[in-house]
């Protein structure tokens, strides 16, 4: 018991020294991270209600305790190869800010991995990646234990116009 308390205190001290926590997840064989303060919930994949005349990356909507949450497939959004949803596929419900207003959006990912403590000094600027994922979606990149993690800016995953469409849902 005492060891767990000490480990928790050490973890809190690490985050108090200027590092940020990110939820890491996999998508198409790559590892990504999102600011954990933006994560509202992680849910196992479940069928969603599809909507007509929506972009291909919009899987539909989910009723989350009375709140209608639009669900985005990040593979489709980032123009990655499609994959079958499996038992590890999850929906990460995020708080996205548009015009100083908070919206809830769910993103479908292959699976969640871990919570990472990343010092601000370890985050590098996002490079322009050509036809791959646009740098506008990224807040930076970090290398941890010889693996590269792409940090996403959740407010940039959808354009203001796309957020307006989702807000109307």
**pLDDT of the residue at 111:** 95
Bridge partners, residue 108, by sequence: 73, 91
* Average pLDDT over every residue of 137-147: 87
How much helix, strand and coil, in percent to the nearest 5, is found in the chain?
20, 45, 35
pTM: 0.81
Confidence of residue 160 (pLDDT cuts 50, 70, 90): low
The CA–CA distances, whole Å, from 124 to 17, 69, 104, 140 equal 18, 32, 28, 5
Domains of the chain: 2-167 (2.40.50.180)
- Higher-pLDDT residue of 17 and 56 is 56
Contact in structure between 126 and 138 (CB atoms under 8 Å): yes
Q: Is beta strand 147-152 parallel, antiparallel or unpaired with respect to 30-35? A: parallel
Q: Tell me, what DSSP letter sits at residue 169?
A: -
pLDDT tens for 54-80 read: 888 889 999 999 999 999 999 988 888
């Amino acid at each position: 018991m005492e060891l767990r308390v000490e480990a928790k205190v050490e973890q809190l001290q690490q985050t108090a020294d200027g590092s940020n926590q990110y939820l890491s997840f996999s998508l198409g064989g790559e590892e990504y991270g999102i600011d954990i303060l933006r994560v509202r919930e992680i849910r196992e994949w479940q069928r969603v209600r599809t909507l007509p005349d929506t972009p291909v990356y919009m899987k539909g909507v989910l009723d989350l305790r009375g709140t209608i949450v639009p669900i985005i497939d990040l593979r489709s959004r980032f123009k990655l190869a499609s994959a079958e949803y499996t038992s590890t596929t999850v929906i990460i419900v995020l708080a996205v800010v548009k015009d100083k207003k908070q919206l809830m959006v769910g993103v479908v990912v292959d699976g969640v991995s871990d919570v990472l403590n990343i010092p601000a000094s370890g985050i590098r600027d996002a490079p322009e990646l050509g036809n791959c994922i646009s740098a506008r979606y990224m807040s930076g990149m970090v290398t941890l234990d010889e693996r590269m993690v792409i940090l996403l800016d959740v407010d940039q995953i959808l354009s203001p116009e796309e957020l307006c469409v989702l807000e109307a849902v």
